Amino acid sequence: MTVTSDMTTLRQWYPVAYPNQIRPESTYDTTLLDQRIRLSRDDHSQITAHRLADDNSEMATIPIVQRFDTLFSTLGDSPRPLPQIAEFSEDDRRIIHCGSFRVRTSPCRIVENFLDMAHFCFVHTDVLGSIDRPEVLSYKTEYHPETDEIWAVDCQFFQPTASKSAAASGQGLMAHYSYRILSPFSVMLYKSAMNFAGRFDAICLFIQPLSETDCLCYMPMAILDNVSTKTDIIDFQQSIFVQDGIILENQRPKLMPLTPRSETPTRADLSSIAYRRWLKSSGVRFGLQSVEGS
């Protein structure tokens, strides 16, 4: 496959593996933006990455950096800097990732689903939402020019089981959220942490587009939880993501149309509208249905 001509998409860092997937005794091959790449670890534990030719021989070296307990690479020159996420440096946080999930759809649809609070009560029933309390309360979207990011702030949603630590309490709560769109295909949320008043768990979603309609999703988290086991936290996040994956893979067309959603706009669509406008103004074409509908 030829590399995309979408320069905005090329000039991004993408997750390509977790560090523990790269072992000294073997190489790790994967795909980024339709290009085959290979990661390997040398005798000094240094990780390198190369693009692969059609015959699987190694071609040019490509950059590799480790951040948020995840390895990132890029195929473009002068990539947009990776975001600053202060929570990953705070001493009392637990840095946990819960594997990578394959979802066969556009990376844009995955970001949009992550931003969408309206689906909580229908898709994550009795966990992140309750059928009895489906309303998305008023919130705001903001553009931050200094980082070229979109934020959705002052989000609130009643959640029967907002997190693994909340499950232990046995009671629902009004969860407070902020969303932060970090790049075209990466997004994160800050969510009120149970038993840590005024502080928020940081949960990221970094997407590795294998192609325009096939992705691997990485979810490193910096969370505040002194009670739950790592396994319990991972199981909770994985069970949520499995539910999202089923919905996402059934959406048609797989490429996301850039036109506003056909449904009547609601509060829940505010962040979606801001994301779509930002994609358009950024010149992103990858993962999007062309204007002609092809």
Candidates 12-20, 73-81, 217-225, 241-249; binding stretch for Fe ion (CB under 5 A): 241-249
Candidates 2-10, 22-30, 40-48, 239-247; binding stretch for Fe ion (CB under 5 A): 239-247
Rule CB under 5 A: is residue 112 a binding residue for Fe ion?
no
| Cα–Cα distance for residue pair 256/287, rounded to 1 Å | 6
Rule CB under 5 A: is residue 87 a binding residue for Fe ion?
no
Rule CB under 5 A: is residue 244 a binding residue for Fe ion?
yes
Candidates 93-101, 136-144, 165-173, 240-248; binding stretch for Fe ion (CB under 5 A): 240-248
Residue (70 or 113) nearer to Fe ion, CB: 113
Shortest Cβ distance from residue 116 to Fe ion (Å)?
Answer: 7
Residue (194 or 217) nearer to Fe ion, CB: 217
| Cα–Cα distance for residue pair 237/294, rounded to 1 Å | 35
Task: To the nearest 10°, report the CA torsion of 162, 164, 168, 172.
Answer: 0
**DSSP code per residue over 146-208:** TTTEEEEEEEEEEETT-SHHHHHHT--EEEEEEEEEEETTEEEEEEEPTTSTT-EEEEEEEEE
Which residue has its beta carbon closest to Fe ion?
244
Candidates 18-26, 164-172, 243-251, 264-272; binding stretch for Fe ion (CB under 5 A): 243-251
| Cα–Cα distance for residue pair 180/215, rounded to 1 Å | 20
Q: Which of 45, 19, 49, 46 is nearest to 31 (CA)?
A: 49
Shortest Cβ distance from residue 118 to Fe ion (Å)?
Answer: 10
What residues form DSSP beta bridges with 155?
A: 177
Residue (113 or 192) nearer to Fe ion, CB: 113
Is the link from the previous residue into 134 a cis peptide, with omega within 30 of 0? Answer: no
Shortest Cβ distance from residue 98 to Fe ion (Å)?
Answer: 14
For residue 263, give both structure tokens: 């449904």
Candidates 16-24, 134-142, 244-252, 282-290; binding stretch for Fe ion (CB under 5 A): 244-252
Residue (6 or 244) nearer to Fe ion, CB: 244
What residues form DSSP beta bridges with 190?
A: 178, 202
Residue (112 or 244) nearer to Fe ion, CB: 244
Number of residues that bind Fe ion (CB under 5 A): 1
> DSSP character for 260?
P
Give residues in contact with Fe ion (CB under 5 A).
244
